[in-house]
Amino acid sequence: MKKLTCIFLAVLMVLSLAGIASAEKTDKTFTFTMAGDVGDLSPFGGDSGGRHHTYRMMYDCLAASKGLGKSINELEPQIAKSWTVADSKNIDVEIFDYVKDSQGNHITASDVVYSYQQAIASGTMEKLNGYLDTIEATGEYTLHITLKSDSMGAMEWVMDTVPIVSEAWFSNASDADKTQNPAVTGPYILKETVADSHTTLVRNDDYWQTDESLRAYYDSDTFAVITLNVARESSMRTIALENRETDGAQNVNSAEVAFFMNDPAWNVQPVYNGRMNVIMFNNDNSVFADNQALRQACLYAIDADAVRLGYGYLYGAASKDFSPAVSGDYLEKWKNEDYFDYNLEKAKELMAEAGYPDGGIEVTLMYQNSTNATSGLTVLQNNLADIGVKVNLMPADQALFNSYKYDDTKWDIIVDSKATSDFATAVWENCFDTKAFTNGSACFTHDDELQRLLMEAASSATHSEETLDAFHSYLKEKAYGAGLFEFQTFYVFQSGVTETQQDGFGNMTVTGLTFADDFQTLAK
Amino acid sequence: MIRYVLKRLLLMIPILAGVAILIFTLMYFVPGDPVEIILGPAATQAQVDTVREEMGFNQPYLVRLGTFLKEILVNHSFGNSYIYGTSVGAELASRFPKTLTIAAFSIILSTIIGIPLGINAAIHANKAPDHISMFVSMIGVSMPNFWLALMLVVLFALQLHWLPSSGDKGWNYYILPVVANAVGGIAGIARLTRSSMLEVIHADYVTTARAKGVPERVVIWQHALPNALIPIITMLGGRFGGQLGGTVVIEQVFSIPGVGAYLINAINNRDYNAVQGSVLYIAFTFSVVMLLVDLVYAYVDPRIKAQYEGQSKKKRKVRSSGKAVSQNG
Amino acid sequence: MSEHRSDFLSVRDLVVHYHSEGKTVKAVNGVSFDLGKGETIGLVGETGAGKTTIAKALMRILPVHSVEHTEGSVTLEGKELMSLPEHEMQQLRGRALSMIFQDPMTALNPVKTVAEQIAEAVRLHNNVSRSQALDRAKEMLTMVGISADRAGEYPHQFSGGMKQRVVIAMALACDPQLLIADEPTTALDVTIQAQVLEMINDLKEKLSTSMIMITHDLGVVAETCDTVAVTYAGQIIEYGTKEDIFDHPTHPYTVGLFNALPNMNDNAARLSPIDGLPPDPTNLPQGCAFSPRCPYATDACRKGVIENYTVSGVHTCRCIRAAKEEV
């Protein structure tokens, strides 16, 4: 009896180990519908939402971030086998010695250095350029990285966003090769991509990381073929789901998501993907300059939840800081504070204090044009009308918005969308770090105290609850700008997707999902 | 006739040159550029300024114009897209057939339905069939085509499962886009056919044909219609040429990677190379279509053909002196 | 006119009313006449008298949607045309009876060659091949004095006179028994006019075609017609042989027509037109339609239906004065 039990347990163990160790190489396929185009899939192509969903399946970086706001010790190894943080600006990295790309080129530390140099030379990774000082190979499979900045998230950014490619391939590849037929270090090879239509990825059967226990979550290769379809119209994405033409869709309209929510055939995933809307005042060249009471009055007059609903985001919340609540360093206590919570009485008091007891101000509000935004900001316009502030809405298309937002003659109030992949300080720096702007900041502030507090909070050396709270409170008091609201976006997957995983940008990549054993694609 | 065609082809060159300079200048003056879109919304002003300088967007107008023209004339290329990194020319070449498919088939469909509708209305002018035909075509033109597209998808894809909802992976993916696009054109064609036919139906030569004993159907289709065709051809030509520039709404709704979607996104992204290349391509195809339309006129109406040839004939007449030229009397 | 004078063409009590802008236009109000084989009748009258309507009524090519009402009988060689089914009528048009229209500039289809248009008529009524029809077309062109190598040319390449010849060729291509010529020379200048009339006469004799010659020009009548019917306000108000009408015009209107002709030998400083204007066909006067303009009108003229009185032989006149002169 005991012998039988032993044998039985042994067999069970072997089977379960086999189960863990082998992500079966099946013939299964997966179809995913995206809201936008993948854009440029060459290793260092320009940014886009679609690219974010795709390129990490094709290219491995040194490390991978399994979720938002991960610190350096929480990253998963990819091409880097291990790393040692010497101090806040120095890190030593050792890479695997058997890395190769899909065309068979062997990857060494010098290829890694080359990749980083090319990334910066491409001009599309300016943020990297702001963080990275030097990178050099210290051995065939070891390197040393020095950072320019010790901001929170800098080291992580440098480790987990740069695709690694082979110098031998990249230096000889034509432009067409780089975009249509790149040699990849990830588990999927690009078979074809047709802009505005679809992208097809095919499993790389020769993927270098043969030891599956060492793979990062991005590198699972359950599917033989992954097809990414583009459907820009949100109703077309919903139809694709209903019509069973796809296994999952991104960014399903919150008004239509109810259809899928109570249906066991579908797995609805609401996500806060680190994106939020902020409102800022023109603090140098408008009626808001030098009038803190006026700025605060306006913020109290705005019913952020109503504005959010006006935008059509049925699920979400008003902001409590100038950063999204999913940030890794977001303080819990902020969630219970009064952060310009809608209070018309207080707003009117403050208006009197500001010197405008009966209102009588006219201002221009600029925002990036979309039907959602216009609806939502009409609510805001009404709110401010209640305290006598007449708002002229000025919608601008994306490119125009981008060029006008740094021009202090163009707007008095701006509503913009901000995001972070890791820390609140990233958003703060992005808007308020004087060093990055020619006119003070994104809202034209010239406040040395603000800058000092920002630097203290952002530097990984002094990053702490106290410094974070100090900046948060100071900014709140000054009311130069404030977070407006966050909202959930919805991914809808068929029920064969059992678990989902947000990556470091808040997106859900197909390879990060977990599937039932009997998963079958819906698409024909 | 050959001389006429050659002359028209030569005329296209200054037209295209003018279009090239015009579109370049327009894009130059439009505020905004692709830099921040390439870098992403998290880019700071400093980063954007650096890259803008690197990409040469701060250079003076003439320098940039010169680079652009050189790229076309010397390298025979429209350059690469700033957003996709791919060659603009290659992208247009692969998208053109899809746009062409949609444009051609929807024109054919609009014509097959619109012309008989218009003829029917003209024959029974001011009576019930006329009112019905005009009413039906009015409905067609009143429906916004994106709404119609979605309704067709809901019916044929979602409810009946007869057709796929979006994409371009096979011939059946084109059915709904073509239908949605064709409906709007039916009204215009029907109305124009109706008015053109009404003029022609009362013409004397139609009465002559009847007096010869020609059956009514033949009178309408072989005697009246060919004479009514000239304005209809003009309209069809203009419409087809315009649609070759891309049926943006249809392409967006059905996710068909055509020229329209490419151009619209390029404009939003200020993807200069893609916009310039696309506009020049559209100018070229439109000119070619207009030339073809003019040649069709000559085929349909011999008086127009004579006009085209007359210009060269006149010169010949003058040269051969002493020849009795009179064809009249 | 109560007996059939001949067996060829017989029109009895033809009535055609149009509607236009809510009113009824009484274009033809009881027209009757006969025509013998090989004869030519001239239908004379001012513009608007209803002559073209009579012609189109015979051919049954009146515009279907404007016609309110037609009545009467038309017998061609014993066959009643008014009640014939359309497809049978189509077979007769162009073959048994054909028509030449007034304006040659617009009578031909601009996008077809002249040979094609003639050949079409031939093929419709004869079982021949395309090339045989084209040969016949070329024959007809030659017959009307147009060189056969111009067969492949388009109407716009011909002058007015040549176009009219083509029209005539087209009308005669199938040897019709009855030819209706609606003011065939009105749009042409005088020298061409003479040529065309001569040609029509030649062909008529060669092919023994009967003809209805519609015209307002008495000179044309003199050249080509055997009998004459003078029309006014949709009725035939005087009928007779050419000699009857020219030598003994009876109806005051007919008299007025002849008086209105300029006379080269006269030293008159002014022309003498007929006073007044033709009546409004939507609002015809009671009794005799000419009474408002007639110098001899009496009360009796303004009442009731005016009978058609025989003057002598076949010469008839729809006037009370004619009755008084009746022997």
Digit-coded pLDDT (tens) for C197-220: 888 888 788 888 899 999 888 888
Say whether C110 and B303 touch across the interface (CB within 8 A): yes
Mean pLDDT for the stretch of residues C251-272: 80
A48 touches chain B (CB under 8 A): yes
Chain C meets chain A (3+ C-beta pairs below 8 A): no
With CA atoms as reference, the chain A residue closest to B98 would be A197
Q: For residue A464, how many other CB atoms are within 10 A of its CB?
A: 12
Q: Which of chain A's residues have a Cβ under 8 Å away from the Cβ of B33?
A: 399, 402-403
B215 touches chain C (CB under 8 A): yes
pLDDT of residue C103: 85
Q: What DSSP letter does each residue of A146-179 carry, written as one string? A: EES--BTTHHHHHHHSPPP--HHHHTT--HHHHH
B324 pLDDT more than 50: no
B272 touches chain A (CB under 8 A): no
Q: Which chains touch A (3 or more CB pairs under 8 A)?
A: B
Nearest-5° Cα angle at C43, C39 to C44: 135
Mean pLDDT for the stretch of residues C145-158: 90
B213 touches chain A (CB under 8 A): no
Q: In what order do the strands lie in the sheet with A481-487?
A: A316-318, A481-487, A275-281, A413-419, A361-368, A389-396
B160 touches chain A (CB under 8 A): no
Query: What DSSP state is assigned to residue A195?
Result: T
Say whether C98 and B328 touch across the interface (CB within 8 A): no
Average pLDDT over all residues of chain A? 90
Mean pLDDT for the stretch of residues C109-131: 91
Contact by Cβ (8 Å): C281, C297: no
Which of A42, A197, A419 is the closest to B168 by Cβ?
A197
Domains of chain A: 4-236+490-515 (3.40.190.10), 275-487 (3.10.105.10)
Rounded to the nearest angstrom, the minimum Cα separation between A239 and chain B is: 7
B211 touches chain C (CB under 8 A): yes
Say whether B165 and A397 touch across the interface (CB within 8 A): no
Rounded to the nearest angstrom, the minimum Cα separation between B200 and chain C is: 10
* Structure confidence by residue, pLDDT tens digits, C165-205: 899 889 888 888 899 998 888 877 888 888 888 888 887 88
Contact by Cβ (8 Å): A142, A92: yes
Between CA A253 and CA A423 the distance in angstroms is 27
Token reading at A143? 């390197």
Nearest-5° Cα angle at C215, C211 to C220: 80
Contact by Cβ (8 Å): A202, A43: no
Residue A83 backbone phi and psi in degrees, to 5: -150, 155
ipTM: 0.81
With CA atoms as reference, the chain B residue closest to C189 would be B329
More confident residue, B31 or B327: B31
* The pTM of the whole model exceeds 0.95: no
Which of B46, B82, B166 is the closest to A231 by Cβ?
B166
Say whether C108 and B208 touch across the interface (CB within 8 A): yes
Mean pLDDT for the stretch of residues A205-229: 90
Question: CA torsion sign, A208 to A212 to A215 to A218?
Answer: positive
Which of C61, C159, C161 is the closest to B210 by Cβ?
C61
Q: Which of chain A's residues have a Cβ under 8 Å away from the Cβ of B36?
A: 399, 402-403
pLDDT of residue C116: 92
Rounded to the nearest angstrom, the minimum Cα separation between B211 and chain C is: 6
B50 pLDDT more than 90: no
* Structure confidence by residue, pLDDT tens digits, B169-227: 888 999 999 999 998 888 889 999 999 999 998 888 998 999 888 999 999 999 999 99
pLDDT of residue B325: 43
Query: Confidence band (pLDDT; 50, 70, 90) for A30?
Result: very high
A111 touches chain B (CB under 8 A): no
With CA atoms as reference, the chain C residue closest to B126 would be C65
Strand partners, A289: none
Closest CA to C194 of C157, C214, C219, C225: C219
Picking from C109, C113, C114, C175 by the largest number of B CB atoms within 10 A of its own CB, the best residue to mutate is C109
Maximum mean pLDDT: which of A338-347, B60-69, B143-152: A338-347
Between CA A246 and CA A266 the distance in angstroms is 12
B250 touches chain A (CB under 8 A): no
A457 pLDDT more than 70: yes
Picking from B196, B198, B207, B212 by the largest number of C CB atoms within 10 A of its own CB, the best residue to mutate is B212
Query: Confidence band (pLDDT; 50, 70, 90) for B328?
Result: very low
Query: Confidence band (pLDDT; 50, 70, 90) for C119?
Result: very high
Rounded to the nearest angstrom, the minimum Cα separation between B208 and chain C is: 6
Mean pLDDT for the stretch of residues A474-480: 95
Say whether C94 and B207 touch across the interface (CB within 8 A): no
Chain B meets chain A (3+ C-beta pairs below 8 A): yes
Query: Confidence band (pLDDT; 50, 70, 90) for A27?
Result: confident
